[in-house]
Structure 1
């Protein structure tokens, strides 16, 4: 797949900020995209000096290919991790919202449930 220069630069810069100075990104190849739960995840194969990465977007993260031999494995983990993070964020929001309404000396006419 041909890659626009700006897209390749974004992926390369991301990998370079996340990897050691002696293992910077070389070859960047877009291998595809998958639409899951209404979100499109772009998948890249990135070669470093001594490692290879899967880079998956929305949100962007990278995964060692030695840990995830197939891109689909990395994508499955990526989506699961995102769901878990949303769950924790939702739980934290509910806790903060619930505690906001329970202050001593404050009368609440109606408490809304999220």
Structure 2
């Protein structure tokens, strides 16, 4: 990234994705899939309960989305607790620092051979 150095203190972003991010400008927009933390104490949750927990966690990251020009691709997290987001590269790093985020992966198209 131009003139900026980011150090990830977590394993929320794979080393391969982090390497690609490091070659991009911090203001460049990228699509990612954010997995929100949905684990809670107690019994297993239904898919709808997981989705509700993820929606609550989404509220926690909204200030990051606002600050880094983030846009939700979907209306709400899915039953796995994930949501696609378009955000700046710097925003990806900010999301990785959030306690509400479990993991971030690059939203990639898959093409048949």
Which structure carries more relative contact order (alpha carbon 8 Å, separation 6+)?
A: 2
**TM-score w.r.t. length of structure 1:** 0.22
- Which protein has the bigger strand share? 1
Question: Rg: which structure is higher?
Answer: 1
- Which protein has the bigger helix share? 1
